[in-house]
Amino acid sequence: MQSIPVDTSRLGVLRCAVAPEPKLANFETKEVKKDRDGNTIYTVAVMVRQEARKVSVIEIAVPGEPVGVAEGVEVKVTGLEAFSWAMGDRHGISFRAAAITPVPAATPAPATAPLGKGGGA
């Protein structure tokens, strides 16, 4: 399966839609999927807003639990790749990333006292 790198800078605002959950390798036994290094693979649903009200949700697999990623948090996706897949008459695109991290909230500017007459000591 060939991977296709995705330019995340063109995706607009990325926000966590569903918090990270371990990906299952076997639904019947509840076995958790691991990568070659033994890291648990997590799935994160991410909302992608490109224009005005147009929003898409994609599920992204990532090795290791993304710390600080929760529903509604703006996120940064590093090393995003897309994969085309087909099984019988089913087909689709899956996504994998090297990391998903929360975007730090902007720090508000400190409040300043209003300028005015007098009022001093």
Tens-place pLDDT, residues 102-114: 998 776 666 665 6
SS3 call for 90? strand
End-to-end CA distance of the chain: 74
**Mean pLDDT of all residues belonging to the chain:** 88
pLDDT at 11: 85
pTM of the complete model: 0.80
Phi, psi dihedrals of residue 8, rounded to the nearest 5°: -70, -20
- pLDDT 10s digit of each residue in the chain, 121 long? 688 999 988 888 899 999 999 999 998 999 999 999 999 999 999 999 877 778 889 999 999 999 999 999 999 999 999 999 999 999 999 999 999 999 987 766 666 656 655 555 5
Give the residue extent of every domain in the chain: 3-102
What CATH number does domain 3-102 carry, 2.40.50, 1.10.10, 1.20.120, 2.60.120?
A: 2.40.50
Q: Are 88 and 7 in contact (CB under 8 A)?
A: no
